[in-house]
Amino acid sequence: MQAEHKPVLAQSIREMIQLKSDAVVVDATVGFAGHSRIFAETLDANGTLIGLDVDQKCLETAKENLKDLQCRVLLVHANFSEIAEVMQQNGIEAADLIFADLGICSGQLADMDRGLSFGQDMKLDMRLDDRLEVTAADIVNNRDEKGLADLIYEFGEERASRKIARSIVDYRHKAKIKTTGQLADIICKAFGCDPNSRRSKLHPATKTFQALRIAVNDELGNLEIFLNSIPSLLKKHGRAAIISFHSLEDRIVKNNFRSNKAAGVYDIITKKPIIADRTEVLENPRSRSAKLRIAEKI
Ligand X SMILES: C[S@@+](CC[C@H](N)C(=O)[O-])C[C@H]1O[C@@H](n2cnc3c(N)ncnc32)[C@H](O)[C@@H]1O
Q: Which residues contribute to the site for ligand X (CB under 6 A)?
A: 5, 7, 28-29, 31-35, 52-55, 58, 79-80, 101, 103-105, 128, 222
Between helices 180-190 and 206-216, what is the axis angle to 10°? 130
Q: Name the minimum Å distance from CB 221 to ligand X.
A: 9
Nearer to ligand X, 3 or 263 (CB): 3
Nearer to ligand X, 26 or 205 (CB): 26
Task: Say if CB 151 and CB 139 are below 8 A apart.
Answer: yes
Q: Which helix (H) or strand (E) holds 291?
A: strand 291-297
Q: Name the minimum Å distance from CB 169 to ligand X.
A: 29
**C-alpha distance from residue 79 to each of 53, 124, 152 (Å):** 6, 22, 24
Residues with Cβ within 8 Å of 205's Cβ and at least 6 positions away in sequence, in order, are 118, 183, 184, 187, 188
Q: Name the minimum Å distance from CB 28 to ligand X.
A: 6
Q: Name the minimum Å distance from CB 148 to ligand X.
A: 23
Nearer to ligand X, 141 or 222 (CB): 222
Residues with Cβ within 8 Å of 239's Cβ and at least 6 positions away in sequence, in order, are 17, 96, 97, 98, 269, 294, 295, 296, 297
Nearer to ligand X, 11 or 141 (CB): 11
Q: Name the minimum Å distance from CB 199 to ligand X.
A: 29
Q: Name the minimum Å distance from CB 251 to ligand X.
A: 17
Task: Say if CB 205 and CB 183 are below 8 A apart.
Answer: yes
Nearer to ligand X, 24 or 188 (CB): 24
Nearer to ligand X, 32 or 153 (CB): 32
Burial class (CB in 10 A: 0-12, 13-18, 19+), 13: buried
Nearer to ligand X, 73 or 186 (CB): 73
Q: Name the minimum Å distance from CB 15 to ligand X.
A: 17
Helices (H) and strands (E) in the chain, counts: 13, 7
| Separation CA 205–CA 260 (nearest Å) | 36
Nearer to ligand X, 39 or 118 (CB): 39
Task: Say if CB 61 and CB 3 are below 8 A apart.
Answer: yes
Smallest Cα–Cα separation from 97: which of 222, 241, 227, 292?
A: 241
Q: Name the minimum Å distance from CB 172 to ligand X.
A: 29
Task: Say if CB 156 and CB 165 are below 8 A apart.
Answer: no
